Chains A and B, each alone.
Chain A
Amino acid sequence: MTPPEDRSCSHCRLPIGLRAMQRTLDGEARAFCCYGCCIAFQVKIGRPEESNAAWLLIRLGVGAFLSMNVMLISLLLYVDDFSGADAAMLPWIHLLLWLFATPALVILGAPYVRETWAHAMEGRVTSSALVVIGVAAAYAYSIFASFEPGGQVYFDTATMVLMLFTVGNYLEAAGRARAVRDLEPLLAAENESATVLEGEQETRRPVRDIRAGMLIRVRPGERIPVDGVIVEGQSHTDEAVITGESRQVAKSAGHAVIAGSINLDGPLLIQSSGPGTATRWAQICRSVRDALSRRSPTQRLADRVVGISVPLVLILSGLTIVYWGQSLTFDRALLVGLAVLVVACPCAVGLAAPMATSLGIGRLARSGCLVRDPGALEALAGTRLIAFDKTGTLTSGRSRLAGIESEGASHDEALARAAGLERHSEHGLARAILDSAAARGLEPVMTRDVRSLPGCGIRGMVDGQPVAAGNSTLMKELGWPLGPALSQRARVLEASGHSVIYVGWADGVHAVLSLDDVALPEARSTIEALRGLGLHVALLTGDLAHAALRVGAVAGIEDIRPSLSPEAKRAALDRYRQDYEAVAMVGDGLNDGPALAIADVGIAVGSATDLARETAALVLPSGGLWMLPWVISVARMVRRTILTNLMWAFGYNLVALTLAVLGLLQPVLAAAIMASSSILLVVNSLRLSRLPDPVPAPVPGRPQSAEPGSVRSAAGVPLMAGPAIESG
């Protein structure tokens, strides 16, 4: 295992706040955000043969045993079951209580005392100090009271407060661990081990030791640890974490597999194609871990509140004792002050934001959406405008054949000849032509002596005749005439932002192929869904007005700003911000880095860049544009949960504090309230992990949408259907 992240809790992965606990377990330094996590971690992780975890539980159990006995006897004392003739028994009963309570306090209180001491050494007062002071006061007073005739003892208060705090912490931590279960696979990437096959021998090795070319065996149900190619075996994989694709993908020998995907049903032998730490999965893991240890603005505010509230509570409690001391006996006043101390413990406030945020991050990560900054989720929830970049975001970023104009030859012949040439080319437009020919079932014409002419096109020979595809310059060089009708069409197409390829053979230009970058099929439904969420949608692009307008019309965007330089994009975003406060920018992460960085929330779709250098705060998987409305709903849900959590925590604290100051709350009841408030908060936040999976929005009027999976995985390529070409 790698050394733990120094800023997030080893157990629940929440950022460690001011309440950090440092422990050395199994020879490794661990940090915990609270005592509860410390217990829960050891219970969960500790190996059975190690008595550490069991020892903690034994202490908890014995502590409970003792304090329950104390409480039992005290309950009977309170209702005066030992009055009258039995009163002579009282001193003995007090002694018995003292005998039970003392070990209970030592067992249960030691961690709190240690924590308080450690913090005091650093000059800080934290909530554990409240518990320690309160419990110590009740205990000390009770000892004195035992010697006095007619004195009331409060051993039960002391032990039960401690007990409830400890159990509350433990349960809360257990709940939180459940909360980050979603994140487990994402946090484990580098610690994961892989079964490496060397000769006949299988060894388990950490993923970070995997090099390219190693053979790795992956059993069904296991996570594929590295990128690679299947050498042997057949299976289905679930790649949701990486691609957002929730369908199962069939894989057999020769297929590539992605690190992080789950091997579902068959054993696989994989040849690694690169070092284990260079996979996207490993990058995602580092990024998630990074995000979790960062604090959102809300969290920072909450931490500050917690920080100043502890001394305030101490003062308030002192004042309460002084005030009530005037009208009540000292022990009653002390009890009221103790209730104030216990109930004002601001544990829940500190938990409100990180709990909800990490659940949100986990939920999104499970579907392949990566949050790099927890603050981004909150900002996204408050966003009222979403600006899109065009190329590669609303469009596939890959050109497709939009139309064919031909003269003296059929469309198919022109396309087949063009395909025959372009199969030798690596130009971006070549792919579009080949795909289109394949979609129409055309066999590329066999072409010899193919030569690529950079900046002009490509030429070759078919059956002794020259054939060429390229721009008008190439055609002029070859001296091939262009018919007036064709030349007119080509001019119109060029003016409207299409890329145009002339195809000629024998002695003239016979066809004009127009290519463009069209909106993704899911663009329209996505934009509609975003509008449905009350967002204003804008298109900011560096492309020409014609192309932008066409894409805008297809996607249903009215607010279009074309021909923007990167600086102009930033300026436009700034202007929008005046009207819409928070703005989000969606781009492909390649050309629009500055714009993504300046927006309140930068969202990259299918970012191809190194995640570490990514400027976007939120990264959707490639082809994941359709997820955007869902992501925004999740972000809003997270913010709502944070707000309800905070309202709950503050409200609860304020009401309980008022009751306590007024002397209406028993300290034991106060402790129970405090413990349950944190647990309620955890339960409230846990609803986030049960959010439904994103559902691909229907694409109205398009038959392709009948099979949602293909729309996503396709990224536009097989969508070059015939009708589009004929209409163009």
Chain B
Amino acid sequence: MIYYLVIFAAGFAGSFHCIGMCGGFACALGRDPRGAAATAERHLLYNVGRLTTYCFLGALAGALGQVVSSAHSMAVPPLTGSLDAAQRILAIVAGLLMIAMALQFFGLFHGFHRAAIGFGGSTLAMSLRRLLAARSRAAPVAFGVFNGFLPCPLVYAFVAQAGSTAAPLPGFLVMLAFGLGTFPAMLMMGGVGRLLAPAWRQRGVWLAGACILLLGLVTLGRGVLPFAAHDVHAGHAEHASGGGEPG
């Protein structure tokens, strides 16, 4: 449980990053002329759409991880039990990916991000613009769904994490936790808008980077170190002390 709480926290911290891009979308979605309830509904729908995409990606990544390491087709609960070689490799790959993403948050490794936003990205962005103008009640759902697919290092990092769990259910839960973590900030964006100072946002981004870096290291550790389970708990302790620093 604590594992998912960490991810929720990371998602929450990471959502300060989201405010930069997706927050803009949330703002653009704006207020509904039909009143506060309708506005809330709009933003809730949007976020549910986004969450669905995340969860789907998570479950898919988990299932993929399972296929990769399906020498033992039993789902291995995350962070406990013995890990076979394939799962170790998976953990190493996911861990490295997450670390690469985390470094990006500190302004390193920008090429990676640019590579991710290619041909698909611009088509997606164009589609998103179209949807913003739509007045239909279903539009926010569709908008959220597409939004979820926008190239975003934060999402990729957690999808990698979900993949390393090597089963659909935990993968789904990882992304659910992450997605829910981004809820408060994103919902807030719909209402309070741009009240948050840029300095605070920067701190949030760093915090998110730190969280992801930590999770990446833990995941990597699961693959590299022989006594994985113990290491994770040590990692949590580290996180508790390390998380306070940038904030």
Contact = CB atoms under 8 A, between A and B. Distances in A.
Query: Are A and B bound to each other?
Result: yes
Interface of A: 43-44, 46, 48-49, 51, 53-55, 57-62, 64-65, 68-69, 71-72, 75-76, 78-79, 81, 170-171, 174-175, 178, 683
Given A48-B133, A61-B145, A61-B146, A76 B138 contact: no
A76 B172 contact: yes
5 contacts: A75-B62, A79-B63, A79-B167, A174-B119, A683-B119
8 tightest A-B CB contacts, nearest first: A61-B142, A54-B134, A68-B56, A75-B168, A174-B123, A61-B145, A58-B142, A48-B133
Interface in B100-155: 119-120, 123, 126-127, 130-131, 133-136, 138-139, 141-146
A60 B123 CA distance: 14
A66 to B, nearest CB: 9
B56 A51 contact: no
A78 B172 CA distance: 14
B164 interface: no
A171 B75 contact: no
Contacts of B62: 75
B229 interface: no
Given A65-B52, A79-B169, A55 B145 contact: no
Contacts, number: 103
A43 B126 CA distance: 8
A69 B141 contact: no
B141 A62 contact: yes
Interface string B47-66: 00100110110011011001
Contacts of B144: 61, 65
Given A58-B136, A174-B119, A175-B119, 14 more contacts: A48-B133, A61-B131, A61-B139, A61-B144, A62-B145, A64-B142, A64-B145, A65-B144, A68-B52, A72-B59, A75-B63, A76-B169, A76-B172, A78-B63
Contacts of B172: 72, 75-76
B163 to A, nearest CB: 13
Contacts of A48: 130, 133
Contacts of A44: 126
A68 B136 contact: no
A58 B167 contact: no
B141 A61 contact: yes
A156 to B, nearest CB: 11
A65 B120 contact: no
Contact of A68 (B143, B145, B167): B145
Nearest to A77: B168
Contacts of B143: 61
A81 B135 CA distance: 40
Contact of A79 (B133, B141, B168): B168
A60 B142 contact: yes
Given A43-B127, A54-B131, A58-B134, A65 B169 contact: no
Contacts of B49: 61, 65
A211 B195 CA distance: 58
Interface residues of B, number: 34
Nearest to A68: B56
Contacts of A171: 120, 123
B113 to A, nearest CB: 20
A79 B135 contact: no
Contacts of A170: 123
Nearest to A81: B169
Main secondary structure of the interface of A (DSSP, over half): helix
A68 B131 contact: no
A157 to B, nearest CB: 14
A51 B123 contact: no
A57 B56 contact: no
Contact of B59 (A54, A60, A76): A76
Contact of B136 (A55, A69, A72): A55
Nearest to A54: B134
A81 B168 CA distance: 9
Q: Which of B53, B66, B119, B144 has the most CB of A within 10 A?
A: B119
Contact of B60 (A43, A59, A64, A75): A75
A337 to B, nearest CB: 23
A58 B139 contact: yes
A68 B134 CA distance: 22
Most central of A44, A49, A68, A76 by chain B CB within 10 Å: A68
Contacts of B52: 65, 68-69, 72
B41 to A, nearest CB: 15
Interface string B152-176: 0000000000000001110010000
A170 B169 CA distance: 30
A681 to B, nearest CB: 13
Nearest to B53: A68
A65 B142 contact: yes
Given A71-B56, A72-B56, A75-B63, A65 B145 contact: yes
A44 B143 CA distance: 17
Contacts of B119: 174-175, 178, 683
A475 B142 CA distance: 90
Nearest to A61: B142
Contact of B130 (A57, A65, A71): A57
A441 to B, nearest CB: 58
Give the one of B52, B138, B145 with max A CB within 10 A. Answer: B145
A90 B221 CA distance: 38
Given A44-B126, A57-B142, A61-B143, A79 B134 contact: no
Given A54-B131, A175-B119, A79 B75 contact: yes
Q: Which of B62, B126, B141, B142 has the most CB of A within 10 A?
A: B142
Contacts of B146: 57, 61, 64
A58 B59 contact: no
Contacts of A69: 52, 56
A69 B172 CA distance: 11
A51 B141 CA distance: 16
Nearest to A59: B142
A57 B131 contact: yes
Contacts of B59: 71-72, 75-76
Contacts of A51: 134-136
B26 to A, nearest CB: 16
Contacts of B139: 54, 58, 61
A71 B169 CA distance: 12
A455 to B, nearest CB: 67
A175 to B, nearest CB: 7
Contacts of A55: 134, 136
The residue among A76, A171, A178 with the most chain B CB atoms within 10 A of its own CB is A76
Contacts of A61: 49, 131, 138-139, 141-146
